[in-house]
Every structure is written in C-alpha cells, then in structure tokens.
Structure 1
C-alpha cells in the first residue's frame, strides 16, 4: 500500500476542507507542510513577514469570506508565541481561524530543548481549542475536528500543533474516515411558545428598538432584519463594530449605539421600552455594563446562540436560545397582519427626523483650522469611495472618531478589533479581506503608531499584489493615551509622541504606491488616484495632532479636577 508523510496529509486535509488560500511564515518545524503545498495547485499560498500580522490576515479573510481562515506557523517556539496576539484577536471576534503550528519533536519535549515552549497550553488560553497531534495517523482526524470546531457556533480560532517527527513520518495511505453530521440542515430554532411570547411583548411596545450584533452580521442575515424592521416600523441599531450588520442605505438604519455610538442611536437605547436584541451579548462596548447607556425600564428580548450570554449583563424579559435567522423568520411569520400603533409610528418618525439631522450635521461639518480634521477626512472618503467599499480599522482614537462617519452599504463591510481593542490590526486584516473579496475596494484606516507596527507587511502586499488602500492618519503620537495625559495628567507627556518616517516613501521602497496629503484637497486628489491605480497603495495623511479626546473618562474619574 502507498505511503504518505504527515506534511502531505496536512495539505490533503486542507484541500478536502475546500481551502483555497493559506497564509503562513516558513520555518524548519513545518517544512514538510510547505513542501506539500508546492504541488497543491488549488491552494494559493501567501507568505507573510510576521506571524501576528499573518494571523490578522487569516482573521480578516475568515470574517469577509464566511469560511475558515488558515495560518501556518512553520517555526516552533518564537514562531508560535508570535501567534498569541492574533489568535486572541480572532477569539474576541468569534473568527474561525485555524492555526497550524510546527512543534518540537516528540522525543525532545520536556527537555528544555531549543525553542521549546508548551505551545498547546499557551495557545489554549487564546483559542476555542488547542491540540497536540500525537501521531501521524491522527492528523486527518484532528484536522477535520479542528475545522469543525472553528466553524460551528459559536465560531472561534483553533490551534493544531504538530511535532516535527509526526510531520516527517510516513504511514500507509488508507481511505479517509469522515464522520457523519459535518453538515447541518438547520441551526437551533426558537420554540413556537417563545416566538409567540416575543410577539406579544412587541405588540404592546410603544417605542420598540431592534438591536443587532455579530450574530446577525456573521450569519449574513441583514435582509431578514430589514424585513422585520419594515414590518414593525422600528429602528435598527447595531452594537459597536457591527455598523454593517444592516446596510446603511436601509431606511430604518440607526447606526451604532453606546459610548462609542452616534447620539441618535444611543438615545434610542436609553429610551426604548422594548429592545429586541438579536445576535448580541449587549456587552461592554455597547453599554459599559451600565444603565447610563440602556433604559433600565426596557423589556429586553435577547436572542443568542450562546446561552451563557442571555441575561448575563442585564436581566431580560425573555431569553431565547436560537439562531438569529431562524428566530427572525419565525417571528415574521407570527406577525402576519401586524399594524404598528400610532405610538410606534410617532416614535419611529421622530427617530427618522433626528437621523436626517444627524446626517446633515455630519455632512455640514466645518472647521476654522488649516489642519486636516478627522471629520473632514471621513467626509471626503464617503464622497469618493465606491458603495461596495469594505473598511478595516484599528482601535484607539481613530476607531472612536470614525464611528458612524463612514458608509457601510454592502454587508459585511466593517472589520475592527472589537472588544480586544487592538492597535496594529487594520492593514494586515485588510489584506486578508481583499484576498477574500478581490472584486471589492478595501480601505484600511490606521494611526501612524499602529501602521509602524505592521508596515513590514507592505512587502506581502507588493509581492502578491494585494490591492488594498491604507490611509495612515498621521498625528505623530499615540493619540488616545496622549489625550489622557493632556486631560488628567497635567500634560506631562511621556512616551506619547511618535517620530515617523514618511510612510509614502517607505511604501515606495517596498514597491507599493505611496501618496502624501497635508490638505483636504490634496487628500481627495491622491485618494482618487489610489482608487484608480489598481495597485497596493498607502496614503500618509497629516491630521491635526490636537484633534484628540479622552474616551474612557470614567477610568480617570479619580483624577478629575
């Protein structure tokens, strides 16, 4: 019988799973995998410059495509420790990333060997599951299990650690064992009694609000939500980072809520008498776990696939353990003949008027400063970017300023660090999104500090001609922290300022189109050029260094004067 080595089994498993894009960084512990990829024509391999940023690419690819994103860390030890931040980010985003890591030879484990670290235990803290493959004949089984674990609710990253000797050993090639039940006809549906209970609560509402989050976005259920909102004549608000769960072109779109949200949507949360929360934990970024950001008298109907999330932070009138789409479809059927009351119509008409004014104020922003203000920059992006544009963002000042300042017309189109609050994420994530959706315009927004962390991936963009556009908002500082030092520490600036090279020139040295702008007119000209360049591009934009504000003022209440 024909024999096959472990590395080739890994590659065959990827092909079986339908994987067509793999990110990775070559290393001696995984050489058999990379050699197997050499002949794997269905798979497009993207070699990256750092394991952390490569994992962000796999994360972006997974979120944009709806399929597992795969990263291969070829080096054990430091190559794997570099994965930690990227996998922690993917876990926070419920992103189905499968990380395959070369590991120390079995005979050398627990001997303080070269580059030894307990990878399986280390990665278990930042993944849904971390396994060590014990033998070559178990690779296929544990690869299948890894993909199943990553892609079933609730999704999340998986680490598969494979020792060098397991990858290099040959075993007899036998017929593949594929357990039944891999595919699902449907996901958990709500009971008829729960749907009817929800219908009765909603029917008695005077000021209903639909709040949707990652469950709706990741489930691609925007059209169902729009149909339900139209039937109820109720506004639709989104949890932060999921402003694209429903298209911004939808008439009842309110945008993102909470301390990071726009004022109109946030006020809806504070005044609604019934909140239909679908596919959201109603968590930290949405509420700060405080009734300052949600009506304490509201009746909450929470629909979640994670039963532990239901009623975890706020008591609910009705908790429903179900898939968002299944629930929405059932609720729509139960609402046949529903007619919104005059109170509901008044509530929603008032919202529509305030939303219209919000958009007018956003469009009419003016500043006497000669320096570029973030709001001006976002307005220019709104005007020039195509409707299909997908945006990636970092955390920090930029993400706060950008909230609901851009248009998310084609879900999914917003990719952020979410609750992990990571800086140095956006550009690499954007490269992954672009590979998943090559037909779409992908725009990555970063601060200058964050871009400095990830600029080596310009080499990846140039090598593989990944044609995203990165806009570096360059204010020469770590903006969020400098704002805290300004407001609460007597302007005693320590470590806040960041001298940078001209990033447009750095981009050109890597083989990427580089542009620079110090006025709005210059930005609009170079942005239009980047959009038509059909090449990877970076735009270094000088923005007002004083355009800062302290977001978590509550964290420094003890220092307020």
Structure 2
C-alpha cells in the first residue's frame, strides 16, 4: 500500500489507456496532472498556444490514428470556455476526443469564485458526455468510463472536469484505485434476413450506386468496399468530407456527391435506382435534405451504427443497424456467384466514360488571367504532392472548392470541418494528423482569414518540429461571405476584406520555413522545396480575389432576382 495523489492517478489512467501523445495548455488548476506527466516517459506532451486549436490537434490526431485524442486544459474557467468550439467540432465529426479539464476547488463551487463557470453543464452541450469527478477515489473509474464512452459507437468527445482538491488529495492506493484498460470489442452484424433482402434488391438493380461515408472511413473498410463494388460493378461515391473513404486509384471511384461534390458523382445520386448507403447519414452536406440531389424513386438500403440516422431524412427500403465492415463482408458472401446484368454494365460503362471526360476537363483548365486561379493551384498540388499525402481543410469557399479537386490515394487522407463549417480548423488539425502519421506528408489548406485565427500555433510546430505544410490561399477577404455580398447584396461589402501581414515572414519569425508565391510557376517551385524542407512550412499564395463562389445559393434564393 502507498499514497498516491489524484494527478498521478490521472496520468496512470492515460498510460493504462495506451495514450502516447497528449496535447495541453498548462494552468494552475491542473498542475498535479502536469507534474505527473513529467515522469511519464511513455507520453509525449505537446504544449499548445490556445485551448481551441489544441483541441483541433487532438481531433486530427484521433481521426488519423483511430485512437482517442487527449487534450488537457490546465486552467479552469477561461481555459475551459476556450474548449467549446474545438469540442463542438469534434462532436460534429464523431471524433473520440477526451478533454481533461482542471476545475475550481469543490469548496468554492457556487460562490462566484475566481474563474468560476459551470464547466460540466457548459461542455455537456458540445460533448457526448460531460462529467464532474467528485472525489479522488473515483478518478480511475471515471477516466476509464470516459475513454470507453468516447470510443464506442457513435464516437464523440468526452469532457472530464476534475476539481483542484480532487487532483491534489492523496489516497491509499489499493487494487480499487489501479486503472484497468478497456478490454472489449464492439462488432454489430446485420441479420440474415436483412442480408437476404439486400441481396434481392441489389441483384435486380439496373443502375446501382454505392454511397459511403464516415462509418466506412473511420472503420478503415475501403478494401471491403472496393471488393463489393467490383462484384456488383457499381460506382462508389462518397459523402462530402469523406472523399478518402475509398482510394481515388480505385477504378470505380466517383468522388464526392451533392452540391459541393463533382457533377458526375452528383448525377449518379440523381439517377441511381438502388443506393446502397453504407456508414452515412445521407445528411445535409450530401443532399441539402432535398430530392433535387437524390433520386426520389431510388430504393435506399441504409447501413448505420447510429440507429437514429436510419431513414431520418429519406425513407429507406431497408434500414440496417450494423457495423459497415460486418455488413459488407456478409453481403459479399451472400452474393457469391453474382453476375452483373447488361443494364448494370451499360450504366457503369457510361459512368466511367463521363468520369474520364470530367478528369480530362479538370486537367485542361486554362485562364488568361495573370492571377492564380484556384483550379490551377489544385492541379499543381495533384501533380506534385506525394501519393501518401493527407490533407486538412478549413471551411470557406476556397477549401470547399478544393475538397473534390485533390487526390486521396491512401485512406484516411482528408480531414475537414464540413459538418460544423469551422474556419480556423485546418492548420491545427494538420499538426495533430502529422503527429499521428509522422511518415506521411501532411498538407493543410486555409484561407488567409482562417490562418490569421490560428497562426500562433506556428510556435507549437516549430517547438516540437511538427513538419506539416500549410498552403494559405490568400485572397485578402472572407471569401464565402464576400461571394454572397457580391451575388445577393449588390456588392455592398461590409467587413469582407481582411488586411494580413506577409505570412511567409510571420512563419520565419516563429522559426518555421516561409515561402511566397504570386504565380503558379512560383508556387510549384516553392511547393517542391517545402516538400523536401523537413521543417514546418507555410506558403503564402496570392489567389485571384475575384475567384469567389457562392456555395449556399439556396439560402439566398429569396434575394435572387
């Protein structure tokens, strides 16, 4: 028997959960945790400049690694309120982030104490679960429960608030206080009846489409999808933000659908007679909840681990509550001996021809303008970036244009804030992705406004030598909003223009590599240099400020003339 303080129990719990990287910002309310980390040689601690961006790092780390991302907010009050945006983003992405937050002493609660805020209630709105750990002897139990909650379907962030006195108190360590890891598997398969009914429908399809989303991507099930698509000879399309659920090198890869996808994949959704929707909610970004973006006569087979998502927005022929991989494996087995029909062959051959023309047209883009056009920039990135490249995106018009314009050859390769629409996400997320996948090239695309929000994390990148590349598409404005003001508000620009410092020089001041490009040839030259720099890098790219596009035209239909 020996005495152990609460902060050390937290660290022991992290070790037991297999955590080897933790992000955080130190603060007085969590000092016992950081002191415990000092001796935890198996955990690499990444100290960040802001709790919001640090949570984005943990989010990116979780999505890229498939393991929980851990963020430690050392300061109660403002240190925790800064977590809100990052945790809301993680919740929208179903990302298993575990946020551990220091809290004011138990005796000071409800006394309007210094930096007091009801952290547990506040974070409950942006997490899967928010918990106040009431006593030192329950830390191990509730840490274990928090990790289990974050990583079981449907995944999501968890907040664990720990008062100062709970962290500093010593207790006698017995077996009850030694944390034990989560020894469990969760596999939910489809019933034999569901598989039999699915076989009947897909076997009779004349124009089938496989639509996959985050469930397939997060489950690392791309090869299974490719095997099923080859068997059915059906195109594979992806929900927006998950264009990497299947490798772009796969012959039947169609790209992303919907108002923000490409025209070929989107037309497949509008014409398919059977849509096999696997691991996707068929939600907003895929359809805008409108039959303008999906065939109203299609028979939909929807497979989801979130039962509430099944048939939520569009009626389904069959709804199947199951793990995507388990379902696909069972369906492949049940389709043994399946032969494609002449109608299916014609449907998919037509798709392949249209996809070929679409890619050729994308490659042949030309412009008479001396200014860099977004399509030119994306083409250069496609040609020069290594096959293993992982991309992170921001919200905003330039990144939305980029999403289906890049190549995602090695799943997972695309990390976006689409469901939350967050500006200021990409760079910090990319740092987390790079730490999770140190041998891969990580490229973060941002607008100049979004990068200005998060550029202080250049200090984190330089300090820990996190060698990602950030391409700042600099058009001097909040592009999406300026596009709406241009198209729907008579060019009455208000707050749209953003003067910025030279970000290449700012990067150098922080200790990173800085580059500037005002022509496509300049960009290609400096991009090649950045790829081999073996250092954190920022490329400030001057993009045509008139290359604006209104994605949400539907929202302003009332103003259209």
Alignment of 1:113-128 (within 5 A): 113-128=113-128
Asked whether the equivalents of residues 262 and 403 of structure 1 are also in contact (C-alpha less than 8 Å), the reply is no
Q: CA deviation at 1:174?
A: 1.2
- Structure 1 residue aligned with 2:228: 228
Deviations 1:174-233 (A, max 9, x none): 125689994334511000010010000001100000000000000000000000000000
TM-score, normalization by structure 2: 0.99
Alignment of 1:431-446 (within 5 A): 431-446=431-446
In 1, the alpha carbon distance for the partners of 2:260 and 2:81 equals: 32
Partner of 1:347: 347
Match of 1:72 in 2: 72
Unpaired segments ≥5 residues, structure 2: none
Determine helix, strand or coil for the equivalent of 1:418: coil
CA distance in 2 between counterparts of 1:368 and 1:128 reads: 51
Shift of 1:554: 1.1
Q: In the alignment, is the contact (CA less than 8 A) between 1:434 and 1:442 conserved in 2?
A: yes
TM-aligned CA distance change 1:413 to 1:176, over 3 Å: farther
How does the TM-score come out when normalised to structure 1?
A: 0.99
| 3-state SS of 1:19 partner | coil
CA contact (8 A) 2:22 2:71 kept: yes
Deviation per residue, 1:136-187 (Å, 9 max, x gap): 0000000000000000111000000000000000001112568999433451
Q: How does 1:269-284 map to 2 (within 5 A)?
A: 269-284=269-284
| 8 Å CA contact 1:22, 1:71 repeated in 2 | yes
**What's 2:388 paired with?**
388
| C-alpha RMSD of matched pairs (Å) | 1.0
Q: Superposition pairs for residues 162-181 of structure 1, below 5 Å?
A: 162-176=162-176
1:419 counterpart SS class: coil
Once the two structures are superposed, the pairs formed by residues 344-383 of structure 1 within 5 Å of their partners are: 344-383=344-383
Other structure's SS at 2:419 match: helix
Query: Which runs of 4 or more aligned residues in structure 1 lie more than 3 Å from their structure 2 counterparts after TM superposition?
Result: 176-186
Write out per-residue CA displacement over residues 87-137 of structure 1, whole angstroms, 9 at most, x where no aligned residue: 000000000000000001000000000000000000000000000000000
Mapped to 1, the partners of 2:59 and 2:511 lie a distance apart of: 25
Q: Determine the C-alpha separation between the residues in 2 that align with 1:355 and 1:236.
A: 12
Describe how 1:366-515 pairs up with structure 2 within 5 A: 366-515=366-515
In structure 2, the partner of 1:54 is 54
- Who is 2:158 aligned against? 158
Determine the C-alpha separation between the residues in 2 that align with 1:241 and 1:486: 27
Measured after TM superposition, the shift of residue 398 of structure 1 is 1.8
Contact 1:103 1:162 in 2 (8 A): yes
Conserved in 1, the CA contact under 8 Å of 2:16 and 2:181? no
Within-5 A mapping of 1:221-260: 221-260=221-260
Verify: 1:206 aligned to 2:203, yes or no.
Answer: no
Alpha-carbon contact 1:382-1:406 (below 8 Å) kept: yes
Whole-Å separation in 2 of the counterparts to 1:60 and 1:385: 20
Match of 1:138 in 2: 138
Aligned residues: 561
| Alpha-carbon displacement from aligned partner over 1:381-405 (angstroms, at most 9, x marks no partner) | 0111000000000011122211321
Between stretches 175-184 and 204-213, larger displacement belongs to 175-184
